[in-house]
Amino acid sequence: MQRAIELFWERFTGYSGEVILCVSLREAMQRTVALTRKIGTDTVGLSRHVPVPEALSNAGLHVMHEPPTQVDDVPVVGITAPWGLVAETGSLVIHDHDPGERLWSLVCDVHIAILDHPRIFNDLDELFTEDSAHLSTGLCLISGPSRTADIEKKLVLGMHGPRRVIALIVGVD
């Protein structure tokens, strides 16, 4: 497992994603609050899959649960709880059929992903031979911030999706 996490770390950060290992869920939530404040906002979009959501509201953050329907309603930070990661490609595995998981990982400038004891797949073959409900309802692999190189191959982060993706991983030490 150690090797898989190291590989995930190397590849996810190689694509400009950020990784923070946390010893407990409590630490992950504290760090989420601190990151949100540092970004300069107190409103977050929150997927219903994120554990202990009250940790955020208790810390004084304004929490939106319903995904936005208007462009002006999009907060700067969206928080999701991916259920797995793939070491080979440095990818978060999102439960894409859930509107909260999908939209909060997509429409905000910053996507914070809280992975509490995630399923760890060494490679894509392991993932796609998995007999899981997630495979039958849909998934999305996210490997860092959205990007484009359509103008003379110059890389620009944050094309249509988040400019920053921060993965807080609990329970993999």
Partner 1 sequence: MAEFRRGAKNLRRNAKTAARRPELGAVISRATDHAIIRRREVMQEIDFAAQRRRIQQLRQNATQNLPGLLDRFKARVEAKGFHFHMAVDTNAARRIVIDVAKRHTVQTVVKSKSMLGEEVGIREALEQAGIQVTETDLGEYIVQLNHEPPSHLTAPAVHLSTGEVGEILYKQAGIGPFEKPEQMAVAVRQFMRTRFFNADMGMAGANALIAETGAMLMMSNEGNIRLVTSLPRLLVVLTSVDKLVERMADLAPLIRVIPKNATGQRITNYCTVLSAPRQGQEVHIVVVNNNRMAAAGDPVFGQAIRCVRCAACINVCPVFRTIGGHAYGTVYVGPMGIVLTNALHLDPHARMLSDACTLCDACAQVCPAGIDLPGLILHIRSSGNPRLIDRFKAWVVGMTYAGAGRFKAAFWALRLFKRLFAAGYRRLWRMLGWTGRRGVPRVAGKTFDRMWDDDAKGD
Instruction: List residues binding partner 1 (CB under 8 A).
Output: 11, 14-15, 69-71, 74, 88-91, 96-97, 99, 102-103, 106-107, 123-125, 127-129, 135-154, 156, 158-162
d(CA 114, CA 28): 7
Give the other-Cβ count within 10 Å of 70's Cβ: 6
Nearer Cβ to partner 1 (1/159): 159
| 11, 65, 73, 87, 158 from 70: Cα distances, Å | 34, 14, 5, 36, 19
Nearer Cβ to partner 1 (123/173): 123
Cβ contact 77:41 at 8 Å: yes
Smallest distance, partner 1 to C-beta of residue 98, A: 9
Nearer Cβ to partner 1 (115/139): 139
Cβ contact 80:101 at 8 Å: yes
Smallest distance, partner 1 to C-beta of residue 21, A: 22
Smallest distance, partner 1 to C-beta of residue 172, A: 21
